[in-house]
Amino acid sequence: MDVGGRDLLPPAILTLTVVSGLVDAVSFLGLGQVFTSAMTGNIVMLGLALGGASGFAVGPPLVAVGAYVAGVVGGGLLGRVGRHWLLVALIAEASLLALASGVAFMPVSPYALIVILALAMGMRNVTTRHLGVADLTNTTVMTTTVTSMIIGSPIVGGHDPHIGRLAASVVALVCGVTVGAWLLHTHGIAWTLVLATIPVAMMTTLVGCFTRPK
């Protein structure tokens, strides 16, 4: 990817963060109190279920964590394909989101969608980690982001030059979840996933344009 392409990475990653919000809104509200990108939440809910807490089941979070791990492994392997790894990774994510969109139009078990979406999000986090954009290496979990934002702020004497990116990342996730919840309520799971697929597909095309053969 050339310099012009690198300049597009921060807004691209923020767009992916919005998509993460859309996906987790679908999974938590539509697939049974499970996250397909935020594994901390799944581990907490798994513990609650194992402890006998009312309203929590072992199956959904356990399946999500397993599929996410598989996605991370897959993303790590894709990182070895050479200089076009980013394009390949985005094609894989867009394909999985498109598959989930199509599956959602059919009467299938929620577990099918949990597996597909968690696979996609696991691969995604490997992708953003490999990109190494300062303060934008995670598009799904905001605990570290919020901590870094506060530590880097003038409130505690910090001077993080990328604090704006950190704040934008939090806002992007909130926007994604908000829009996802509204779309889920008004248009259902399938169409919400269709919307989540579109920006990833567009980004894949854009990366393809900036990818130059040697």
Segment 52-70, tens digit of pLDDT: 998 889 999 999 999 999 9
| CATH classification of the domain holding 48 | 1.20.1250
In a domain, 3, yes or no: no
In a domain, 86, yes or no: yes
DSSP letters, the chain, are --HHHHHTHHHHHHHHHHHHHHHHHHHHHHTTS--SS-HHHHHHHHHHHHTT-TT--SHHHHHHHHHHHHHHHHHHHHTTS-TTHHHHHHHHHHHHHHHHHHHHTS---HHHHHHHHHHHHHHHHHHHHHHT-TT-S-SS--HHHHHHHHHTSGGGT---TTHHHHHHHHHHHHHHHHHHHHHHHHHHHHHHHHHHHHHHHHHHHHHHHH----
Give the contacts of 195 (CB within 8 A, at least 6 positions apart). Answer: 22, 179, 183
Range of the domain at 97: 12-209
0.85 exceeded by the pTM? yes
In a domain, 1, yes or no: no
Segment 104-125, tens digit of pLDDT: 999 999 999 999 999 999 999 8
In a domain, 4, yes or no: no
In a domain, 134, yes or no: yes
What pLDDT is stored for residue 130 in this prediction?
82
Over range 165-173, report the average pLDDT: 86
Q: How many domains does the chain have?
A: 1
In a domain, 7, yes or no: no
In a domain, 36, yes or no: yes
What pLDDT is stored for residue 68 in this prediction?
96
What pLDDT is stored for residue 22 in this prediction?
95
Give the contacts of 126 (CB within 8 A, at least 6 positions apart). Answer: 71, 72, 75, 76, 78, 79, 89
Segment 25-37, tens digit of pLDDT: 999 999 988 999 8
In a domain, 5, yes or no: no
Segment 133-158, tens digit of pLDDT: 666 666 666 777 777 777 777 777 76
Does residue 3 have a pLDDT over 70?
no
Give the contacts of 153 (CB within 8 A, at least 6 positions apart). Answer: 160, 163
